[in-house]
Structure 1
């Protein structure tokens, strides 16, 4: 797809997958709107993208706050007149058992990861439907298909994102608007900088470079598919889990429980 002059909104754009996705769209000469709570870091990203000689626009917004999201949407549509791609990427995780995780920590993950996606989608979808074009890319996780001990709230938010996206996928048939979920495995970003991860190994040999996921996000923005799993071979693992849960769940659960026990001892 030719993204030259297209308007792309990326949430969680101050670092990691969001920052890299914004850069990949900028390379393709899209007009990129950078959204996150950290305006100072967004300005640094905007300076970095200036070398691609395309329009960037910084907007500080907490996507878990629906009033802020509503104001953001109105500002962007007023300034650019349209939106072609919405990348719902903002999100974070906290690593702990349900017993030890505070209620407000659970709520904050659901509010940012799921409700933030829903608020942004509701804000920009009417414009896409009116113009009969556009694409929503929701950055989820393989943890949206496989429950991981110690990540219950995070998994819940990504399971919810996947279900919401699948429902909307069917609703959007014939409208000219598409939606695709990108579900990566572990990515080398500051996601694991949260103190709750403690002694947990930050990355493994299979962890992904943000650029790999960002390339999948760009691909997703013009894809007819509901979900793109990164890397592709992990889709087989998800298929096994969904097809033979009575065989796979004990194995997966055992692996994660052992890992969790070793990191929390």
Structure 2
């Protein structure tokens, strides 16, 4: 594994993936819309190279353009990680159709378009695709209608893509984080009447006693990209400190 595209690699879990890959001397193409954060990620002094590109994953051409840029930068593509996501939280009566449509575009359509665009170069290397799902696909939560629906769809799509692409030696998996301590969850906390009390109640239900860190998820993603996971495909693996088991 020498070259990986990370979509949504500027912050949170995506940035942790960029760091973990570069620490292993893997070259990364970082696709994101947040150029300030992408520049900061690229500035870290690590062995693997990094090239950044601005791509709005809600657009229909972003995946194709990012894959072409990644292959152009490094001459090959060994893996694709799609961590970019949209999380809009609202009461059901107030949930805007535009928010629903954009959530589906970023959380479901974009991962499919990445798989579609990357299939040919990944077939040349026996590469791997890893999507970032969520435990929201398995349990209900207030105000997260489009997000939960999109992550459920992503898990089903992972299975279909795994079956479709296995004959071409491409593996497809999905990692489903629970509560990871990143700014991504701020819309949810902002909706709570007492965010501090809500956080305390959450932590009391997590057997591990804490929220996860981005590196807790990135470690599994890097493993799934690599040859040690060569017989793992079509899986959705939960990383939640035991919350769903409790």
Q: Same fold (TM over 0.5)?
A: yes
- Tell me the distance in 2 between the aligned counterparts of 1:140 and 1:34: 19
Is residue 31–residue 66 contact of structure 2 (8 Å, CA) maintained in 1?
no
Q: Is the 8 A contact 1:85 1:136 kept in 2?
A: yes
1-side partners of 2:55 and 2:13: how far apart? 17
Compared CA separation, residues 148 and 86, structure 1 to 2 (3 A)? same
The answer to whether the 8 A contact 1:95-1:196 is kept is: no
Does the alignment pair 1:115 with 2:119? no
Displacement, 1:117? 1.1
SS of 1:90's equivalent in the other structure is coil
- Alignment partner for residue 76 of structure 1, among 64, 70, 82? 70
Match of 2:151, SS state, is helix
- In the alignment, which residue of structure 1 is the partner of 2:186? 193
SS in 1 for 2:130: strand
Which residue of 2 is the match for residue 19 of structure 1? 15
- Structure 2 residue corresponding to 1:218, chosen from 218, 222, 227: 222
Structure 1 residue matching 2:176: 3-state secondary structure: strand
Give the alignment's TM-score, normalised by structure 2: 0.86
Question: 4+ residue runs of structure 1 moved beyond 4 angstroms?
Answer: 234-237
Deviations 1:7-37 (A, max 9, x none): 0111111110000111011111100111110
Matches of residues 155-166 of structure 1 in structure 2 within 5 Å?
Answer: 155-166=148-159
Q: Superposition pairs for residues 1-265 of structure 1, below 5 Å?
A: 3=1, 6-48=2-44, 51-129=45-123, 131=124, 133-194=126-187, 197-199=190-192, 201=195, 203=199, 204-205=202-203, 206=206, 207-222=211-226, 223=229, 224-225=232-233, 226-231=235-240, 233-234=242-243, 236=245
Query: Is the contact between residue 64 and residue 112 of structure 1 (CA under 8 Å) also seen in structure 2?
Result: yes
Q: CA deviation at 1:71?
A: 2.1
> CA offsets, 1:36-58, max 9 Å, x none?
1011210111002xx21221000
SS class of match (1:86)? strand
Q: How many residues are aligned here?
A: 230
Q: C-alpha separation between the residues in 1 aligned to 2:189 and 2:101?
A: 16
RMSD: 2.0
Decide which structure has the larger Cα Rg and report it. 1
> Unpaired runs of 5+ in structure 2?
none
Q: Distance in 1 between matches of 2:125 and 2:41?
A: 31
* CA apart distance, 1:195: 7.9
TM-score (norm 1): 0.80
